[in-house]
Each structure stands twice: as structure tokens, then as C-alpha cells.
Amino acid sequence: MLVGSNSKDSEEKTLYTGRGYFRPVFSCLAFTCAFGALDVKREQEDAHVARNAGISRGQFLLNLLTVLMAVWALYQGWATSQWQQEVTERLEKQRQTDQQVLYQLDQQRQLNDRMLKQLESLTEKVEKALLQEEKRERQRFVVRDRVATVRRSPEHGSPVQGALYPREMVQPLAESGKWVQFTYYHEWLQTYEVGWALKKYFDRVPAPQDRVDDEIDETGS
């Protein structure tokens, strides 16, 4: 009886002792599993935070890019407006300059036209004067039926320097009112002299070419 009881006690002791031996192991395993679970949960939370942070960073970058694009678009619009304004101002200045140049050219053209007309008129007057001078050089004065008194100047009180007889011909040099200047042959001095006499003593004798021209004009008319 005693032996049997001892063996039973030894078994219970052994079983108790085995349970006591594994309890710390189980405790360690439990703590390890708990810490592992906490680590896993912490890693999951960190991953979630990281994902959120990544999403927030990506959203921030996207928003920043959107803002930059909007600012760039505004800048491009402002720069384009400024460029268009500068181009418009330059074109307006160029147009005003062109108008001034055209106005000056028009003024110069009008001035040239006036000068051309004046030149044509002056040329016509010169041609007429030359033609008259040529006719005057070709024409002659013939003394009428009375003696013409020749004076030194076209005045009645001027000294007498000679006389011209009827049918005598002289070449006129100039005219002054009722007087005519001419060259004549002085019989006493036997030289050609210049004097003045009243026109009433003379008849104009056109040159032969002038007579032909007058006859042609009369025939043509």
C-alpha cells in the first residue's frame, strides 16, 4: 500500500514538474506571438500611413503641377497680350510713318508739278522773247516822208546827234515807250552810231522770212 501510494505521488510530481517546466515556454511563445502581432499591426499601420502619405504627396504634387500649369497659362496669355500690344504699337507707328512719308511725297509731287508748270511757262516766255528778239533783229525801220531827228537819249530835251532822211533804213536795238533805239550810219562822221528817235517817224518793215511765215499763217487760216 505504501509502495503504491509512493508511485502515484511520484507520477503526480513528475506530471506537475513537467507542467511547470513547459509553462515558461508557453509564456514566452505567447509574448512572442503577441509582440509579433503588434509588429504586424504596426507594420500594417505604417504601410497605411505610408500609403496615405504617398497619396497625399502625389495629390500635392498633382495640385502643385495644376497650379503651375495655370500660372504658366496665365503667363503665356499675359506675354502674348504684351507681344500683341507691342506689335500693334509698332504697326501703328509704322502706319503713321508711312502716312507721313506719303504726305511728304505728295507735297513734293505737288511742288514738282508747280515747278514744272512754272518752268514750262518760263520756257514758253523765254521762247517767245527769243522769237521776238529774233524777229526784232531781222526787222527794219524805214523813215517816212519827213526827216527824223536823232537824239542821244529818249527825251525831248536830249542833245541832237544827227538826222535820218526819208526812205532811210535802220536796225532797231530797243524800244522805250514812244521812242526806239537803233544803229544808223552817220554820213558826216562816216561811222555807225547809236541813237534814239520817235517811232512816229518810222514804218516797221518785217524781215522776208517773217513775211513768208505770215503769208503761210494767213493761207492756213
Say if CB 162 and CB 195 are below 8 A apart: yes
Q: Is residue 145 part of a domain?
A: yes
Q: Is residue 191 part of a domain?
A: yes
* Overall pTM surpassing 0.85 (yes/no): no
pLDDT of residue 92: 92
Using DSSP's 3-state secondary structure scheme, residue 154 falls into coil
pLDDT of residue 41: 65
Alpha carbons 3 and 122: distance in angstroms, whole number: 173
Grid coordinates given for 155: 527825251
**Which range of residues forms the domain containing residue 196?**
140-205
In degrees, rounded to 5, the angle at the alpha carbon of residue 204 between the alpha carbons of residues 203 and 205 is 115
Q: Domain of 171: which CATH number?
A: 2.30.30.40
Say if CB 166 and CB 148 are below 8 A apart: no
pLDDT of residue 152: 93
Q: Is residue 124 part of a domain?
A: no
How many domains does the chain fold into?
A: 1
Q: Is residue 37 part of a domain?
A: no
Q: Is residue 62 part of a domain?
A: no
Positive or negative, the Cα torsion across 148, 152, 156, 158? negative
Instruction: Output the tens digit of pLDDT for each of the chain's 221 residues.
Output: 444 445 545 554 444 444 454 555 556 656 565 656 666 666 666 666 556 655 677 788 888 889 989 999 999 889 898 999 999 999 999 999 999 999 999 999 999 999 999 999 998 888 888 877 777 667 788 999 999 999 999 998 899 998 999 999 888 888 889 999 998 888 888 888 999 999 999 998 876 654 444 444 545 54
Q: Is residue 67 part of a domain?
A: no
Say if CB 153 and CB 177 are below 8 A apart: no
Q: Is residue 182 part of a domain?
A: yes
pLDDT of residue 2: 42
- In Å, the largest CA–CA distance within the chain is 218
Place of cell 517816212: 144
In sequence order, the 6+-apart residues with CB closer than 8 A to the CB of 195 are 150, 151, 152, 161, 162, 181, 182, 184
Q: Is residue 119 part of a domain?
A: no
Grid coordinates given for 167: 526812205
pLDDT of residue 59: 82
